[in-house]
Amino acid sequence: MSRADWTRPALFLVEAIPTTGAAVTLEGPEGRHAADVKRVTVGEVILVGDGAGTRARATVTAVGKGRVTAEVDEIRTDPPSGTRLVLAQALAKGDRGELAVETATEAGIDAVIPWRAERCVTRWDDGPRGAKQLARWRSSVTEAAKQARRAWVPEVTAPLTTNQLAQRLEGVTGLLLEATAEVSVADVALGGEVVLLVGPEGGVTEAETARLVAAGATPVRLGPDVLRTSTAAAVALGALGMRTGRWEA
């Protein structure tokens, strides 16, 4: 089958993909989205995925209110990328944080770490309010993965402080985006896992930079201009996507 067969049909998420020839049913939010928003019809081909690498092409056999049934025609499993890309995104005010993780998902990120940097204007509480914010990021990532027809839905972890993030950098390639850095993102050596660190609107403090560099992070620049925290990750992932070969898949 052509590439279009796995990119044009709408993608819906299910807990598990059944075997070829078996029926799969969309219910709840996914069923309502398919039946009432997308208005899929009998005979239409859709994609169903488990968010963990496996997708299937399926032909719709029945449509009801908030419910769609389809028969699985073909199953495809995509292995994880050879280089795992993780985004440590500083918390941003308004919807900029959600925009950042949404575009990063579309650009191919594998996991997201909300970063409680010192200069973040937004502060996520440890209680219900913080849980709500985290849920919004996770929802943004899931919807972006579906929009991009991705086989893998990135994990969004609990938020980390700068000290916790420094500990997370052990044994991986840490790239701290900094407009004044001497090293270009195009020239730095990459390992099996790359953690891309994007600071807040006010920038990363000198103390934080020193802590992250001591943990092994390399300050890198993207180009001559300063990018917003909401767009920097997507631009960097474009460059890293070419270097890691994931844009060639």
For residue 247, what pLDDT is reported? Answer: 66
Q: Which residues lie closer than 8 Å to 125 by C-beta, 6 or more apart?
A: none
DSSP code of residue 147:
H
Asked if the model's pLDDT at residue 133 lies above 70, the reply is yes
For residue 56, what pLDDT is reported? Answer: 97
For residue 155, what pLDDT is reported? Answer: 97
Considering the entire predicted model, what is its pTM?
Answer: 0.92
Task: Report pLDDT digits (tens) over 42-66.
Answer: 999 999 999 999 999 999 999 999 9
Residue count of the chain:
249
pLDDT band of residue 2 (cuts 50, 70, 90) is: confident
For residue 249, what pLDDT is reported? Answer: 55
Task: Report pLDDT digits (tens) over 175-196.
Answer: 999 988 999 988 888 889 999 9
Which two tokens mark 21? Answer: 């020839």
Q: Which residues lie closer than 8 Å to 20 by C-beta, 6 or more apart?
A: 56, 72, 73, 74, 75
Inter-residue contact 244 to 110 (CB < 8 Å): no
